[in-house]
Amino acid sequence: MKTLTSTQDLADFCTAAAQHPYVTVDTEFLRERTYYSKLCLVQLAYPGEGDENAVLVDPLAEGISLEPLHELFRNTDVVKVFHAARQDLEIFWIDAKVFPEPLFDTQVAAMVCGFGDQVGYETLVRKICKQGLDKTSRFTDWSRRPLSKAQQTYALADVTHLRTIYEYLAAELEKSGRSHWVTEELAILTAPETYNIRPEDAWKRVKTRTTSGKFLAVVKELAQFREEYAQTNNVPRNRVFKDDAMVELASTKPSSGSDLGGSRLLLREARKGAISEGILAAVKRGVECPPEKHPTIDKSRDKLQVNPALADLLRVLLKSKTESAGVAAKLIAPSSDLDAIAAGMRDVPALSGWRYEVFGEDALRLCEGEIALTAKGQAVKVVSLG
């Protein structure tokens, strides 16, 4: 079990990996005490058996640069294989503005291959590799050194089994002709806007029952301040103040330090210094926001005239199509999208790309009265009416 702690050792490994068709990648990181993930370990492997051709890379080692790995990511001759890659990709994009190309995500591929919605790595190891995983080290502190033998074994298993899983899923996709389905899904993961958080939009993630424009204007300013403060100081949002405190502040609209002292939900640290000053300034901006600039919650779908009978038929069609295709129904369309289609909306993911092939085309024909559904035993069949 080899741990790389120098730039040269990493460069040598990446040079060797570049001679192979793919390399498997995983990371261990911490995020509990920071806004941005702290990268603590990178695991890499190229084709081989067991721990052969697999290494751990210590990004916390003194003087090490990950540029050789970034260069490997830019090498389009080598497929970079991850499982549930979103958080890993966010780290590399934030730190180095690099995405692995080409990318293969085994979680996405497994959904397309019929393993269910958001299937876990442990499940794939059990079903494809016919082995179990020791998960006892999953929630350990990966920033502490030295790493224990158990931590190293756990970390390395995340890329050694991944080789078998990748080869199996890639073959299944080739056989079924569904490789382009995965490519479409991964386009979202490698889009910079997926990871570029806009502080001015942070209010949209705050759950509140109040839809008053005045109230939302204060929420928006508070959420934007919190996001900017958290990013600048690299602290979690909740360490600034929590959502319930934000809602309380938007309701009480404090205008002084003594007002903040009366808050039931505000953290003690937020009642003084830069955070308290930011809160009071944000509340003032929100209160003074002119009505024409008040934020509004998108309720366009709430006003849709849904045909309930058609929505039920679309659910039956979806169940039939996904069962025959061997993919999870949630991957095609959630219930809200089926209702939207039944109400006449056409700008939904289920009606474009590979989802259109599986479900969308017949969904539109059903809406237009061009097909009907019949049941025979346990099977539902589509019957053309034209």
In a shared domain, residues 285 and 305: no
CB of 83 within 8 A of CB of 70? no
Measure the CA–CA gap between 187 and 204, rounded to whole angstroms.
24
pLDDT in tens, 329-384: 888 999 999 999 999 999 999 999 999 999 999 999 999 999 999 988 888 999 99
In this structure, of 42-51, 231-240, 303-312, the range with the lowest mean pLDDT score is 303-312
Whether residue 125 is found in the same domain as residue 253: no
Q: How does the average pLDDT of the chain come out, rounded?
A: 94
H-run or E-run covering 98: none
Q: In this predicted model, what pLDDT tens digit does every residue of 17-76 receive, in sequence order?
A: 999 999 999 999 999 999 999 999 999 999 998 888 999 999 999 999 999 999 999 999
Of 238, 265, 293, the residue at which a domain comes to its end is 293
- DSSP string for 14-72: HHHHTTSSEEEEEEEEE-TT-SS-EEEEEEEE-S-STTTTEEEE-TTSTT---HHHHHH
Give the relative orientation of helices 273-288 and 213-233 as an angle to the nearest 10 degrees.
150
Instruction: Kindly report, residue by residue over 102-118, the tens digit of the pLDDT.
Output: 999 999 999 999 888 78
Maximum separation of any 2 CA atoms in the chain, in Å: 73
Say if residue 179 is in the same domain as residue 207. Answer: no
CATH number at residue 366: 1.10.150
Tell me the percentage of the chain whose pLDDT exceeds 90: 83
10 and 153 inside one domain = yes
Q: Domain with 178 in it: what CATH number? A: 3.30.420.10
Amino acid at 251: S
Same structural domain, 280 and 313 = no
Q: Do 338 and 365 contact (CB within 8 A), yes or no?
A: no
Q: Assess whether 174 and 113 both reside in one domain.
A: yes
- Looking up tokens 């295709």 gives 325
Rounded Cα gap, residues 331 and 350, in angstroms: 9
Domain tally, the chain: 3
Q: Are residues 86 and 162 in the same domain?
A: yes
Instruction: Among 260, 293, 326, give the residue marking a domain's end.
Output: 293
Model pLDDT, residue 301: 65
Q: Is the pLDDT of residue 302 over 90?
A: no
φ and ψ at residue 380, rounded to 5 degrees: -115, 130
On the question of pLDDT at 304 being above 90, the answer is: no
The one-letter code for the residue type at 140 is T
Looking at the structure, do residues 165 and 204 belong to the same domain, yes or no? Answer: no
- Which CATH number is 244's domain given? 1.10.150.80
Q: Are residues 124 and 217 in the same domain?
A: no
Instruction: State both tokens at 203.
Output: 């209010």
* pLDDT score of 300: 66
Among the candidates 242, 275, 293, a domain finishes at: 293
Cα radius of gyration rounded to whole Å, the chain:
25
pLDDT at 160: 96
Q: Is the pLDDT of residue 264 over 80?
A: yes
Residues 112, 207, single domain; the answer is no
**What is the distance between the alpha carbons of residues 84 and 104, in angstroms, rounded to a whole number?**
10
Q: Does residue 185 share a domain with residue 122?
A: yes
Q: Which has the minimum average pLDDT: 114-123, 217-226, 243-252, 275-284?
A: 114-123
By residue range, what is the domain housing residue 281? 199-293
From CA 318, how far away is CA 338, in angstroms rounded? 9
Residue 386 has pLDDT above 70, yes or no: no
Query: Region 217-228: what's the mean pLDDT?
Result: 98
Q: In this predicted model, what pLDDT tens digit does every residue of 124-165 receive, in sequence order?
A: 999 999 998 887 778 899 999 999 999 999 999 999 999 999
166 and 153 fall within a common domain: yes
Q: What are the structure tokens assigned to 235, written together?
A: 């602290």
